[in-house]
Structure 1
Amino acid sequence: MDKKRCKWCLSSDKMIHYHDTYWGVPVHDDQELFAKLILDMNQAGLSWSTILNKMETFYEAYDQFNICKIASYDKEKEEELRQNPGIIRNKLKIAAAINNAQIVLDIQKEFGSFNAYIWSFTKGKVLQHKITDESQVPVTNGVAEAMSKDMKKRGMKFVGPTIIYAYLQAIGVINDHAEYCFRNKELQ
């Protein structure tokens, strides 16, 4: 018997695999939290499948999303990234990744970890939304708006509330798997 899944993932095997394996699973590793932030930031104006199809190259191009390495990228490395057809070559998004890595280092000093900072917005709890129909999924909420505002205040770029809401879904802070989806109960 086929498993029932969120409808958004049914467009390709890659999307189904991402949905079944990664989307909505709580993440607590600083490097992976940072990687997902940069990937969601790069999705702005694009489809998730575009990012998913480039994900392996993103990890290679951005040194496995090593926060310290990215924070120290120079103009030469920025140019190298702008020439890489395997990633999103938007000049502003590349500069934002470097800028945001530098700010994540500051956050780690202040909070002890990026994980502690991210999860502080929900006091370490996963927000369980009751989604019976995918049209009910909001594009943002109060938590995403508060995090976006704080990140912007710290100087981060490409962290608007809609991007941050998608990020929070991806890293499992918000469980927006539809109630009929087999992953919803697995992630409660």
Structure 2
Amino acid sequence: MAKLEKFSSIYQRACERKGGPDAVELLLPDTLSAAQISEYSDAELLSVMSKRVFQSGFVWRVVENKWPEYEKAFFDFDPFKVLMLSPEQIQDRATNPTLIRHQKKTQAIVDNAYMVQQMTREHGSFAEFIAHWPSDDIVGLWQILKQKGARLGGNTGPYFLRSIGKDTFLLSQDVQAYLKANKLVDSGFTSKSGLKQTQKVFNEYQQQTGLKLAEISKIISLSVGDNHM
């Protein structure tokens, strides 16, 4: 791996591009404490997770506008009730014109309800499990969501975590471009080796600055390219 650029240089470049420190500060994402994340119910987590699955590849506004209908159709995303749906009821929801007609993403709600329920059984609380996962191996949590859940690979799992306030970096187009251009990652970003290299970069920047992963990720994206968020 190539030598890391000083983060102060990245920050300075972001400030120059965005109008100064105050402007950059306003663009930084919010995160929640472990105690705050622990307060989420399984239903709240399943709802946010399902919304992120549907927003992947869709116009986010369309999904947002339809979400009240999803809350009704899936019993406010109570995992136990979702898992009581029959195959015929799931199919009816997948073809319902008031929802989004997508069989696989609709089935993912059910599959992820099972995952949430299983994680709660194994760890006492899915929210607690997420809340106390260490930030220096956040890609490990991404992998668990991808392996145990449905349609949570790529950036969908990380976006879900960001949505509930968990501190995580995002592999936006600009962040990927920066890491590649500076030869900090020599593997694909979907490979274990590529994710491990990426985590190492963010860990070193976190030790160097004391910033959160989400803040580091955003500042890097603001310092280069087209600022794809």
TM-score (norm 2): 0.54
Please state how far the C-alpha of 1:30 moved relative to its aligned partner: 2.0
CA separation of 1:98 and 1:29: change in aligned 2, threshold 3 A: same
Counterpart code for 1:164: G
Match of 2:163 in 1: 170
Return the match for 1:98 from 67, 87, 110.
110
1:147 maps to 2:141: yes
Cα shift readout 1:60-83 (whole Å, capped 9, x = no counterpart): 111110110112221111122022
Return the match for 2:48 from 36, 51, 55.
36
Distance across 1 between alignment mates of 2:98 and 2:142: 28
- Equivalent pair of 1:72/1:98 in contact (CA under 8 Å): no
Alignment of 1:74-153 (within 5 A): 74-122=86-134, 143=138, 145-153=139-147
Distance across 2 between alignment mates of 1:120 and 1:88: 34
SS in 2 for 1:86: coil
SS in 2 for 1:31: helix
4+ runs deviating over 4 angstroms: 23-27, 175-179
Return the match for 1:48 from 18, 41, 60.
60
SS in 2 for 1:46: coil
Distance across 2 between alignment mates of 1:80 and 1:169: 31
Counterpart code for 1:34: L
Q: CA RMSD in A?
A: 2.7
SS in 2 for 1:88: coil
Please state how far the C-alpha of 1:24 moved relative to its aligned partner: 5.4
- Equivalent pair of 2:145/2:157 in contact (CA under 8 Å): no
Cα shift readout 1:82-106 (whole Å, capped 9, x = no counterpart): 2222222210111111111112111
CA separation of 1:42 and 1:142: change in aligned 2, threshold 3 A: farther
Cα shift readout 1:90-128 (whole Å, capped 9, x = no counterpart): 101111111111121111110001101221323xxxx7x
- Equivalent pair of 1:70/1:101 in contact (CA under 8 Å): yes
Distance across 2 between alignment mates of 1:82 and 1:120: 35
- Equivalent pair of 2:42/2:116 in contact (CA under 8 Å): no
Number of equivalences: 143
Please state how far the C-alpha of 1:153 moved relative to its aligned partner: 2.9
Structure 2 alignment gaps of length 5 or more:
1-22, 168-211, 220-229
Match of 1:13 in 2: none
Structure 1 alignment gaps of length 5 or more:
7-18, 128-140, 180-188
- Equivalent pair of 2:119/2:125 in contact (CA under 8 Å): yes
Match of 1:158 in 2: 151
Please state how far the C-alpha of 1:142 moved relative to its aligned partner: 5.6
SS in 2 for 1:45: coil
CA separation of 1:37 and 1:117: change in aligned 2, threshold 3 A: same
